[in-house]
């Protein structure tokens, strides 16, 4: 299931509050939910014109989050048209439009210019199973 479809399903319990219609700023409050991580009942500031949300997802992945969809539908906009064109089928086709070449022998590869990445030996894991830091008790809870 696509990200947009999942987000669109979440808007049912969301509450939309007008904050500033002129600047396109709205508040969306998610319902309290004891069964979800975080518990819900969060307030998000959606900037419809700037295409940003306080949760950070809209501006980062360029697909309206559930809060943005709530606002856009509340304004009677087609929320799907706010999905960035980079996700369009045309773009996907263009990505693979060029001709692929057969990979040459490694001896013919050019040296890479720029910084050389070296692994940090401090971060290398030792052989064997990692040591558990969890302290077990009788009930199985921490
Ligand atoms: Zn959001």
At 140, is the pLDDT very low, low, confident or very high (cuts 50, 70, 90)? low
Distant-in-sequence, close-in-space partners of 87: CB < 8 Å, separation ≥ 6 = 62, 63
User: How many angstroms does the Cα of residue 68 sit away from the middle of ligand 1?
Assistant: 6
CA distance 12 to 66: 9
Q: How many other C-beta atoms are found inside a 10 Å radius of the C-beta of residue 138?
A: 5
Q: Is residue 66 part of a domain?
A: yes
* Mean pLDDT estimate for the chain: 88
Q: Is residue 142 part of a domain?
A: no
User: How many angstroms does the Cα of residue 134 sit away from the middle of ligand 1?
Assistant: 35
Residue numbers of the domain that contains 55 = 3-84
User: How many angstroms does the Cα of residue 117 sit away from the middle of ligand 1?
Assistant: 36
76-112 pLDDT tens trace? 999 999 999 999 999 999 989 999 889 999 999 988 8
Q: How many domains does the chain have?
A: 1
19-45 pLDDT tens trace? 898 999 999 999 887 666 667 789 999
Extract the runs of DSSP E, i.e. beta strands, from the chain. Answer: 15-20, 25-29, 43-47, 52-53
User: How many angstroms does the Cα of residue 91 sit away from the middle of ligand 1?
Assistant: 25
User: How many angstroms does the Cα of residue 99 sit away from the middle of ligand 1?
Assistant: 39
User: How many angstroms does the Cα of residue 93 sit away from the middle of ligand 1?
Assistant: 29
Q: Is residue 112 part of a domain?
A: no
Q: Is residue 123 part of a domain?
A: no
Q: Is residue 7 part of a domain?
A: yes
CA distance 88 to 49: 21
């Amino acid at each position: 299931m696509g990200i947009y479809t999942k987000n669109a399903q979440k808007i049912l319990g969301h509450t939309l509050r007008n904050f500033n219609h002129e600047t396109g700023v709205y508040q969306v409050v998610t319902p309290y939910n004891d069964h979800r991580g975080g518990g819900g009942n969060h307030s998000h500031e959606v900037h419809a014109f700037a295409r940003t949300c306080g949760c950070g997802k809209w501006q980062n992945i360029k697909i309206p989050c559930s809060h943005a969809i709530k606002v856009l539908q509340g304004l009677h906009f087609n929320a799907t048209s706010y999905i960035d064109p980079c996700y369009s089928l045309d773009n996907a086709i263009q990505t693979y439009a060029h001709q692929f070449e057969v990979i040459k022998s490694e001896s013919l590869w050019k040296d890479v210019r720029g910084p050389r990445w070296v692994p940090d030996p401090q971060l290398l894991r030792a052989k064997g199973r990692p040591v558990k830091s969890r302290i077990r008790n009788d009930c199985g809870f921490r």
